[in-house]
Amino acid sequence: MDQEPIPPEFGIVGAGAWGTALAQTLARAGRSVLLWGRDATLVRILNSRRENTRYLPGIPLLEGISFTDRLSEIAEARHAILLVTPSQGLRSACLHLSPFLDPHRAVPLVVAAKGLDAESDQPLSALVKDLIPAHPVAVLSGPNFAKEVAVGLPAAAVIAAQNVALAEKLAEQIGSSSFRPYASSDPLGVEICGAFKNVLAIACGIAQGRHLGDNARAALITRGMAELMRLAKPLGIQTETLVGLSGLGDIVLTCNGLQSRNYTLGIALGEGMKLPDILAQRRSVAEGVYAAAALHRIGLKAGVEMPIVAAVDSILAGHAGVEDVIAKLLARPLKREI
């Protein structure tokens, strides 16, 4: 008699660079993983070549990973389901996944995308909770370029959940000798940091593209941190989160790293390219393009001054040119540092 196949320990929704890298790190930790991609052609390539030729070319994928284009199979995952679509695709991914989930088993859902829902300005974990209320939700974030994680270079991340025991359990299950997740009880803080760093990386890229120098980048990063600290207060975000892996850690990485899609998008803007032309040349997502407007609105609602976020938003929306925005930022009245 044929035996029923054992469901995978982890399901991953989204076969882009990060979903694939997370599958790889889980497989390296000895976990069984099923990776879902919505594009059947890519899934066929993944199955036949065991390489994500589109989003993570040149990296052989480990044996513990299987691939599917059927979301129903992901719902069987025993430990957790990682949600790794771009932020603006998460709503539809949840709506498609939800009917297959068993609310009585309530497998944890882990948001590994970095952004905010542009329809509601909600953090993604809140969106998932709204759409799939019976399941516990956690978030995974930190300074992690997909390619480095995929080849097994050392990296650290943070896993946050309101119930910190869940975050600790997931950290145990996901961690390995090359990938160290730290647990946190501040999912909102981790998500706001993850969205914010992408916007700041675009600002730093613009400065780089305009050849404004290293001093300007250091000033932008530091004043960006000041904006984040101001926003953190009314939102109730823990200070430790701001200087943790999802905050300072990811800002250090993304605002300097030529591997960053947000930073390089900023460079192209600074060099004078138009946003639609930059986006048309890219296959991969640059989340800061969507997060800037949402964060700007969140700042206004909270009564918090966020000049760098506002500047990036106005450039991306085509309301102002790069030169004007830079001149305006530099002409702001002098004030106390804090």
Ligand X SMILES: NC(=O)c1ccc[n+]([C@@H]2O[C@H](COP(=O)([O-])OP(=O)(O)OC[C@H]3O[C@@H](n4cnc5c(N)ncnc54)[C@H](O)[C@@H]3O)[C@@H](O)[C@H]2O)c1
Ligand Y SMILES: O=P(O)(O)OC[C@H](O)CO
- Known binding-site residues for substrate equal 114, 261-262
| 292 phi, psi to nearest 5 deg | -60, -50
Distance CA 208, CA 216 (A): 9
Smallest gap, in angstroms, from Cβ of residue 19 to ligand X? 5
Q: Strands (DSSP E) along 26-64, which ranges? A: 33-36
Smallest gap, in angstroms, from Cβ of residue 39 to ligand X? 6
* Residue at shortest CB range from ligand X: 16
Cβ-based nearer residue to ligand Y, 57 or 234: 57
Smallest gap, in angstroms, from Cβ of residue 188 to ligand X? 17
Contact yes or no for 116/122 (Cβ under 8 A): yes
Smallest gap, in angstroms, from Cβ of residue 260 to ligand Y? 4
Cβ-based nearer residue to ligand Y, 122 or 198: 198
Burial class for 319, CB neighbours closer than 10 Å (0-12, 13-18, 19+): exposed
15 binds, among ligand X, ligand Y, none (CB under 5 to 8 A by kind): ligand X
Residue 197 annotated to the active site: yes
Sign of CA dihedral 263, 266, 272, 276: positive
Smallest gap, in angstroms, from Cβ of residue 219 to ligand X? 25
Q: Which residues are annotated as a binding site for NADPH?
A: 18, 38, 55, 114, 146, 261, 285, 287
Q: Which residues are annotated as a binding site?
A: 14-19, 38, 55, 114, 142, 146, 197, 250, 260-262, 285, 287
User: Mutual orientation of helices 214-235 and 288-302 as an angle, nearest 10°?
Assistant: 50
User: Mutual orientation of helices 214-235 and 187-209 as an angle, nearest 10°?
Assistant: 160
SS3 112: coil
Which of 129, 197, 328, 335 is flagged as catalytic?
A: 197
Distance CA 216, CA 94 (A): 41
Cβ-based nearer residue to ligand X, 258 or 338: 258
Cβ-based nearer residue to ligand Y, 208 or 254: 254
Distance CA 57, CA 53 (A): 4
Task: Decide: is 144 part of the binding site for ligand Y (CB under 6 A).
Answer: yes
Site string for ligand Y, 229-268 (x = CB under 6 A): ---------------------x--xx-----xxx------
Of residues 188 through 217, those in contact with ligand Y by CB under 6 A are 198, 201
Distance CA 134, CA 145 (A): 32
Q: Strands (DSSP E) along the chain, which ranges? A: 10-13, 33-36, 65-68, 80-83, 109-111, 137-141, 155-160, 179-184
204 binds, among ligand Y, ligand X, none (CB under 5 to 8 A by kind): none
Cβ-based nearer residue to ligand X, 75 or 304: 75
Task: Decide: is 290 part of the binding site for ligand Y (CB under 6 A).
Answer: no
Contact yes or no for 104/75 (Cβ under 8 A): no
Q: Residue 327 has which token pair?
A: 């001149």
Q: Which residues does residue 338 pair with via DSSP β-bridges, in sequence order?
A: none
Task: Decide: is 86 part of the binding site for ligand Y (CB under 6 A).
Answer: no
The catalytic residue positions are: 197
Q: Which residues bind ligand Y (CB under 6 A)?
A: 114, 143-145, 198, 201, 250, 253-254, 260-262, 287
